[in-house]
Chains A and B, each alone.
Chain A
């Protein structure tokens, strides 16, 4: 009996040590227009975690639009930080062909940062969803974090004076979302094993 309890405690700890907040992972291409100041990302979701309904990944689209406002005061000799602003409730639209709009809303506190001379960096944003099937799981505020790769302009305070493109991969997540963790596969296995053990004991007695 002691062994069973030890095993169950182990299984409980192991099964509860998982992410239990919604995450939508995306990748795509990025374009910046020096004429308009618009930064756009067009891509698709490649994974999702703890979301209901689960997106039809094969048909998803991820469209992000934001506008450059200036170089941040945080920039220094080795790092460039650029500020952007959202353009209202169409700043970010995630959808799939089966469910339609999964999430749609505005972006706030958007920044792009990277080491000067490098063609890689980060894109951060706060996402304020306004509508969509996953609204309750990403409201009131979610975080967007993305890596920017293969930028055709290297990071510098003058990089936004000319247009550039690149690749992006990242995710939108809501770590503050309180969800009821589903019993994981390990917990189910534990219950099954305990039941088997009890049954065997009863038969033996």
Chain B
């Protein structure tokens, strides 16, 4: 009987821990310059995205719609190294860095970009009027993420590559595959955990 209970407890603890610490990967933000910002500008020295976060995809984790109209800025040198900032000055701003931004020329004047991002911190300014449930969740859980996006250059004859001059009139970008280290534990797991504690108590009483 004790071995069975031990086995159940071991199994339950494994499930509990994996549930509590599971990394969730999901697309997090839609970013679009047509809702604000100047879009993408590439020069001989840098690649810049000046855009706006328009929504966060929910993927079953709740709707964080309050994050709309937050600035999204990415500045990269021509080696693909740089920083990102998400949020409006005077409110809550999330900061990150990256080292391997990659540009792909898809042809027909279209391009894509990829970067692995490490979130480096969060700053608060003023009275934090931009605080929201979504920003709060992200600021508590962001560790690393993958930025992916696409764009179409204004002059289709431009060659999309670092160091070349081109700009966009419309673009979209997505902060996708966002890795979250801590996940709120579902109520069912807590209930299961308390049930197991009860079992342990019963087992101990029996053995005494």
Query: Contact residues of A with B, CB < 8 Å?
Result: 19, 21, 78-79, 113, 115-122, 124, 126, 143-145, 147, 173, 175
Identity of the chain B residue whose Cβ is nearest the Cβ of A124 in the assembled complex: B108
**B107's contact among A21, A120, A124, A173, by CB below 8 Å, is which?**
A124
Distance in angstroms from B72 CB to nearest chain A CB is: 15
Whether A78 contacts B146 by the Cβ 8 Å rule is: yes
Whether A143 contacts B156 by the Cβ 8 Å rule is: yes
Distance in angstroms from B87 CB to nearest chain A CB is: 21
**A117's contact among B110, B157, B172, B176, by CB below 8 Å, is which?**
B176
Whether A78 contacts B177 by the Cβ 8 Å rule is: yes
Interface centre among B108, B150, B176, by most chain A C-beta atoms within 10 angstroms, is: B108
Interface membership of B65, Cβ < 8 A: no
- Give the docked Cα–Cα distance between A121 and B171 (Å): 11
Distance in angstroms from A73 CB to nearest chain B CB is: 16
Whether B59 contacts A124 by the Cβ 8 Å rule is: no
- Give the docked Cα–Cα distance between A70 and B55 (Å): 30
Query: Contact residues of B with A, CB < 8 Å?
Result: 26-27, 30, 57, 59, 106-110, 146, 148, 150, 152, 154-157, 170, 172, 174, 176-177
Distance in angstroms from B65 CB to nearest chain A CB is: 15
Known: A21-B156, A115-B148. 16 other contacts (CB 8 A): A21-B157, A78-B146, A78-B177, A115-B174, A116-B176, A117-B57, A118-B30, A118-B57, A120-B174, A124-B106, A124-B108, A126-B108, A143-B108, A145-B110, A173-B109, A175-B157
Distance in angstroms from B128 CB to nearest chain A CB is: 29
Identity of the chain A residue whose Cβ is nearest the Cβ of B154 in the assembled complex: A19
- A contact residues around B107 at 8 Å (CB): 124, 143
Please report whether the interface of chain A is mostly helix, strand, loop or mixed according to DSSP.
Answer: strand
Query: What would 25 A/B residue contacts be, using CB atoms closer than 8 Å?
Result: A19-B155, A21-B156, A78-B146, A78-B148, A78-B177, A113-B150, A115-B27, A115-B148, A116-B176, A117-B26, A117-B59, A117-B176, A118-B27, A118-B30, A118-B57, A120-B172, A120-B174, A121-B150, A122-B110, A124-B106, A124-B108, A143-B109, A143-B156, A145-B108, A145-B110
- Give the docked Cα–Cα distance between A121 and B156 (Å): 19
Distance in angstroms from B79 CB to nearest chain A CB is: 23
- A contact residues around B30 at 8 Å (CB): 118, 120
Q: A115-B148, A117-B27, A120-B172 are in contact. Are A173 and B156 (CB under 8 A)?
A: yes
- Give the docked Cα–Cα distance between A57 and B155 (Å): 23
- Give the docked Cα–Cα distance between A79 and B108 (Å): 19
Identity of the chain A residue whose Cβ is nearest the Cβ of B28 in the assembled complex: A117
- Give the docked Cα–Cα distance between A78 and B172 (Å): 16
- B contact residues around A173 at 8 Å (CB): 109, 156
- Give the docked Cα–Cα distance between A4 and B172 (Å): 44
- Give the docked Cα–Cα distance between A82 and B106 (Å): 14
Whether A115 contacts B156 by the Cβ 8 Å rule is: no
